[in-house]
Amino acid sequence: MTREGFRRLPVVDAGTHHLRGIVTVGDIINFMGGGDKFNLVQVKHGGNFLAAINEGLREVMTPHLVTMPLTGTIADAVDIIVNKNIGGIPITDTEGGLKGIVTERDVMKVLTTEHSGRKAEDIMKSSVRVTGPDTSIGNVCREMVKCRFRRLPVVADDVLCGIVTATDIMSYLGKGKAFEQLTTGDSAEVMGAPVRSLLSGELHTITPDRNIHDIALEMIRRRVGAFPVIEDSHLVGLVTEYDLVKAFSEE
């Protein structure tokens, strides 16, 4: 997932290719300290993170899925994404074999062929939950799982200094950075680092008057899932792929 930049991977039987579940960045964040899947680390392995990551994938994957048949339409996909808030829908044949997957980004690429008169301020979330640069990675995981967020803007002294995503946290594990300073293998060492250590120097933002068609095109080009909305140097909102899919589907 880290190497390919994927936010989800379907899990199938090796022989039949039948869909068994899906593992998402949300599942990984849950396992890393955000939710009930962290019990695998804390309870089963006594807090030993190194032991827990060698468990089988079935321990953290989501087994009960919303799927679509090959005969499904783009409108069906939009309905599932918007009304069930599901970012990726596996496509299966009549025997339950995996044939593909449709994501928010795939749908957004199709819908952005239509121009729109709406702006960022018309669709953005204006009540944005934020975190601070010194907040531990573990606490950010818990916040993401509790609120079902995939990203949190990082603000210091009322100034936006970055945005941390579930993918950033997963990459912290996937690229091995989580283990560079590890001495005991305890999960507290892995998740106690401040979230500032995950921030890159690159931060892309938009303004409230930006057209949503242009926003969607830039989001696709940069392969990001959200843009913070800035006005007079202050964070005033957030526009995500979900917001764009919902907005375009309404037109």
When divided into structural domains, the chain yields a total of 2
Of 111, 140, 173, the residue at which a domain comes to its end is 111
With beta carbons less than 8 A apart as the criterion, state whether 182 and 193 touch: no
Judged by average pLDDT, the poorest of 14-23, 42-51, 67-76 is 42-51
In the structure encoding, which two tokens stand for residue 230, read together? Answer: 């800035």
Question: From CA 175, how far away is CA 60, in angstroms rounded?
Answer: 19
224 pLDDT higher than 80: yes
CATH code, 90: 3.10.580.10
- Is residue 3 domain-resident? no
Tokens 């204006």 correspond to 126
For residues 238 and 135, membership in a common domain is answered with: yes
**Average confidence (pLDDT) over 23-32:** 93
**Average confidence (pLDDT) over 206-223:** 95
Of the pLDDT bands very low, low, confident and very high (cuts 50, 70, 90), residue 164 is very high
213 pLDDT higher than 80: yes
What are the residues whose beta carbons fall under 8 Å from the beta carbon of 175, sequence distance 6 or more? Answer: 2
For residues 104 and 128, membership in a common domain is answered with: no
CA 141 to chain centre: 12
| 164 bridge partner residues | 152
Model confidence pLDDT, tens digit, residues 83-129 = 999 999 999 999 999 999 999 999 999 998 778 899 999 999 998 99
What pLDDT is recorded for position 167? Answer: 92
Model confidence pLDDT, tens digit, residues 127-136 = 899 999 999 9
Of 111, 137, 153, the residue at which a domain comes to its end is 111
What pLDDT is recorded for position 181? Answer: 61
Residues of the domain holding 150 = 120-249
- Is residue 2 domain-resident? no
By C-alpha distance, which of 12, 20, 62, 19 is closest to 37? Answer: 62
- Is residue 1 domain-resident? no
